[in-house]
Amino acid sequence: MSDGLSNRANECYQRAADCRQHAEQASTPSLEASFRKLERMWFDLARSCELDESSYRLGKAARYFAGKRNPPSAHWR
Protein backbone atom coordinates (compact mmCIF):
# COMPACT_ATOMS: atom_id res chain seq x y z
CA MET A 1 0.00 0.00 0.00
CA SER A 2 1.30 3.42 -0.89
CA ASP A 3 0.01 6.53 0.84
CA GLY A 4 -2.12 4.29 3.05
CA LEU A 5 -4.30 3.21 0.14
CA SER A 6 -4.93 -0.35 -0.86
CA ASN A 7 -4.04 -1.73 -4.23
CA ARG A 8 -7.75 -1.82 -5.08
CA ALA A 9 -8.26 1.87 -4.36
CA ASN A 10 -5.05 2.82 -6.16
CA GLU A 11 -6.07 0.84 -9.21
CA CYS A 12 -9.47 2.54 -9.28
CA TYR A 13 -7.87 5.99 -9.00
CA GLN A 14 -5.49 5.09 -11.83
CA ARG A 15 -8.37 3.99 -14.04
CA ALA A 16 -10.20 7.24 -13.25
CA ALA A 17 -7.10 9.19 -14.30
CA ASP A 18 -6.91 7.16 -17.52
CA CYS A 19 -10.53 7.98 -18.29
CA ARG A 20 -9.88 11.67 -17.65
CA GLN A 21 -7.00 11.59 -20.12
CA HIS A 22 -9.18 9.85 -22.73
CA ALA A 23 -11.93 12.42 -22.15
CA GLU A 24 -9.49 15.27 -22.75
CA GLN A 25 -8.43 13.65 -26.02
CA ALA A 26 -11.91 12.61 -27.15
CA SER A 27 -12.83 13.43 -30.73
CA THR A 28 -16.54 14.03 -30.05
CA PRO A 29 -18.55 15.57 -27.20
CA SER A 30 -20.44 12.30 -26.80
CA LEU A 31 -17.25 10.32 -26.37
CA GLU A 32 -15.91 12.90 -23.93
CA ALA A 33 -19.11 12.67 -21.86
CA SER A 34 -18.84 8.88 -21.78
CA PHE A 35 -15.27 9.00 -20.50
CA ARG A 36 -16.19 11.65 -17.91
CA LYS A 37 -18.96 9.37 -16.67
CA LEU A 38 -16.55 6.43 -16.46
CA GLU A 39 -14.04 8.63 -14.63
CA ARG A 40 -16.64 9.52 -12.01
CA MET A 41 -17.65 5.88 -11.60
CA TRP A 42 -14.03 4.76 -11.06
CA PHE A 43 -13.48 7.62 -8.63
CA ASP A 44 -16.60 6.70 -6.67
CA LEU A 45 -15.51 3.06 -6.56
CA ALA A 46 -12.09 4.08 -5.23
CA ARG A 47 -13.73 6.14 -2.47
CA SER A 48 -15.97 3.20 -1.65
CA CYS A 49 -12.91 0.94 -1.32
CA GLU A 50 -11.32 3.45 1.04
CA LEU A 51 -14.48 3.66 3.13
CA ASP A 52 -14.76 -0.13 3.35
CA GLU A 53 -11.15 -0.39 4.45
CA SER A 54 -11.55 2.40 7.02
CA SER A 55 -14.66 0.74 8.43
CA TYR A 56 -12.86 -2.58 8.64
CA ARG A 57 -9.88 -1.03 10.46
CA LEU A 58 -12.16 0.86 12.84
CA GLY A 59 -14.11 -2.30 13.65
CA LYS A 60 -10.91 -4.25 14.17
CA ALA A 61 -9.54 -1.56 16.52
CA ALA A 62 -12.83 -1.41 18.43
CA ARG A 63 -12.80 -5.17 18.95
CA TYR A 64 -9.18 -5.02 20.09
CA PHE A 65 -9.80 -2.26 22.61
CA ALA A 66 -13.06 -3.77 23.81
CA GLY A 67 -11.14 -6.86 24.82
CA LYS A 68 -8.56 -4.80 26.71
CA ARG A 69 -10.97 -3.00 29.03
CA ASN A 70 -12.92 -4.22 32.00
CA PRO A 71 -16.68 -4.15 31.56
CA PRO A 72 -18.18 -0.90 32.92
CA SER A 73 -20.14 -2.80 35.58
CA ALA A 74 -16.86 -3.92 37.20
CA HIS A 75 -15.96 -0.30 37.95
CA TRP A 76 -19.19 0.41 39.81
CA ARG A 77 -19.16 -2.42 42.31
**Confidence label for 3 from pLDDT (cuts 50, 70 and 90):** low
Averaged pLDDT, 72-77: 51
pTM of the complete model: 0.67
The stretches of the chain forming alpha helices (DSSP H) are 7-24, 29-68, 72-75
Residues 46, 16 contacting (CB under 8 angstroms): yes
- For residue 35, which of 49, 16, 8 has the smallest C-alpha distance? 16
Domain boundaries, the chain: 7-70
At 46-58, the pLDDT tens digits run: 999 888 887 777 7
